[in-house]
Structure 1
């Protein structure tokens, strides 16, 4: 565990220290989010924070590769380098969009390239541990992997609409995912807890923690597409890695349907972004719009219209993300008879909190309705 904590702390420290440097760079190149009618921030905010986060990820994983305990994790074909390469390409695509505003199809092409590069390095969804389903061919495996990565990356990007929201939710999801991967590895190999997915997720949690002090409301920098798409890429890659890490049907972890966990846990940890993404796509297609046409119908917008303050909306969504991800992970570790009652109480409390407006500052309500149209093809981070 100490090795993983070292990776988290290192990733957090590098990210935190790099943010001021990237902020100055963003101002120099004009990567700044202006103030629009629907925005809560009242002054232009620089973006490109994702570059600082990638620096933290890169340094943490490079240092981890030199630790003897983790030596086999970084062996050729392990998948860590594939995730790092794919995340780098995704960050670059997002950074280009943050500066020059790519058309949606150009951005999508870049996402396909990033996901394909990661899959080419061996991070592929070759099997789905759900009722014995397997992907039938290498081409189908590549296609499914690319589709999963693109959906998850854009789900995180769509959720990135308030200060600290995406980084916080991915950090919470990553923490739950780390616990799942760690306990799974410990159960499979009591003498060595090193696991590819655990290393990747530890670094992911670290960069989220390091970025949040700069990004929580009022934010001094936005992560932009360079950060949101990259975070989605990393957590998708970790989810794909963990499905091949171990055969959970042959382990003793938990008493509740362990064979379903490798697909349920990755889905649960990003449940909130996925719900928001699916609803956004359905809503826009029903209106005859492009799925990438930005509007003000996201979950965080709806909370703001209910009277929640900026911080209140973010913390409410943190709560739901924690309940969804931690409940599923707890079912792996503890018997369901203990987990389900506690989770039910937590859900009731979350419903009460969601219905009651959490206000830190008066007057922080969104200025647009569901039909608001803005000129951007997509929301550009933390807006």
Structure 2
């Protein structure tokens, strides 16, 4: 655990320290987000924050190569984790920089995402098994494993990209999801007497650190946006951890937990990232229904609807954090216990309380807001109204 904590700290610290320099570079480079009708910011804001996050990822991986245990994880058998993350992440960052500066077309970005998934596959990061309902693993030949891997990578990247609409939202949601993956893998390995060292756990730890280091600069009011450079990078890392975790645990070794923990890697990211995934599907359906491109922007995302309900930007982001954290904690708890009824009851109770607070908060805030002083009315004219 100490080596994981050091890796998280390095990723967070380097990302935090690099972000101001990247901000100045983005201003000089001309990579700034001008306010649009669908945005919540009102002044031009630098992008390219993902470049600082990638710096944090690289620094954490370099430090990990000098740690005795982590060194073995980075080149574990057929999976060269460090090389895969650096090559695929570097490609995604280059595409993101071009998009943040010149706004490249969607097809080019899609091709880059597929290419990044191809790098993962060549370095051994691929879906090799999926769980069956009876708890036994089903081996996937390359004919099925390769396209499924590409699908997971591309879908996760775009889901994260879709939610990147409020200050601190994407970094916080992905950070929570990565933390859930980390604790899922670490606790399940520990409780079953297995090694806690794995490429999936290391990738999740690096991602937690990068998001934590960037968030202080990105929380409302944001001084810099991560841009597509960042949203695609953290989506890529999240998909890598998920893919490596799938099939990591043998159901025969998990005893009473047999089926559910085996499914968790496939369930956790879609569940934790349910907000961006649902938002993405609704946006695609809404836009195609209107005869527009699925990638055409609008102001009907879920976070925009929270703002319409009367929540402030900060409160809307914290609400999203709450729901993501609740789902993540519930799934990780379920994977490490036999008390499914207790977990379900506690989670449901907290969810009901969360809904009540979410509905009541705008009304309470409106009551507590000081009343605006009445504006003096202009003197009325004594002349009769024009009958015309």
**Fold shared by both chains (TM-score > 0.5):** yes
CA distance change for structure 1 residues 309 and 141 in 2, over 3 Å: closer, same or farther?
same
Instruction: Give, in angstroms, the shift of residue 188 of structure 1.
Output: 4.4
Aligned residues: 361
1:140 equivalent among 130, 144, 148: 144
Relative contact order higher in (CA < 8 Å, ≥ 6 apart): 1
Secondary structure of the 1:68 match is: coil
| 2:223 match | 220
Instruction: Give, in angstroms, the shift of residue 253 of structure 1.
Output: 7.3
Q: When the two structures are superposed, what TM-score results if normalisation uses the length of structure 2?
A: 0.88
Instruction: Give, in angstroms, the shift of residue 158 of structure 1.
Output: 0.2
Instruction: Give, in angstroms, the shift of residue 210 of structure 1.
Output: 0.3
Residue 297 of structure 2 corresponds to residue 314 of structure 1: no
| 1:97 match | 99
Residue 285 of structure 2 corresponds to residue 282 of structure 1: yes
Residue 262 of structure 2 corresponds to residue 298 of structure 1: no
With 121-130 and 94-103 compared, the bigger mean Cα shift is at 121-130
Residue 205 of structure 2 corresponds to residue 202 of structure 1: yes
Conservation of the 8 A alpha-carbon contact between 1:187 and 1:253: no
Distance 1:268 1:51 in 2: 28
- Give the 5 Å matches for 1:1-383: 1-75=1-75, 77-81=78-82, 82-131=84-133, 132=136, 134=138, 136-190=140-194, 192-252=195-255, 254=257, 257-334=260-337, 335-358=339-362
Distance 2:158 2:114 in 1: 12
Instruction: Give, in angstroms, the shift of residue 290 of structure 1.
Output: 1.4
Instruction: Give, in angstroms, the shift of residue 219 of structure 1.
Output: 0.4
Secondary structure of the 1:128 match is: strand
Q: Deviations over 1:259-294 (max 9, x none)?
A: 332322233232222121122112222222211111
Structure 2: which 5+ runs fail to align?
370-388
Q: Rg larger in 1 or in 2?
A: 2
| 2:379 match | none
Instruction: Give, in angstroms, the shift of residue 83 of structure 1.
Output: 2.9
Q: Deviations over 1:138-182 (max 9, x none)?
A: 143221111111111000000000000000001111111110011
RMSD: 2.0
Distance 1:239 1:257 in 2: 15
Conservation of the 8 A alpha-carbon contact between 2:185 and 2:196: no
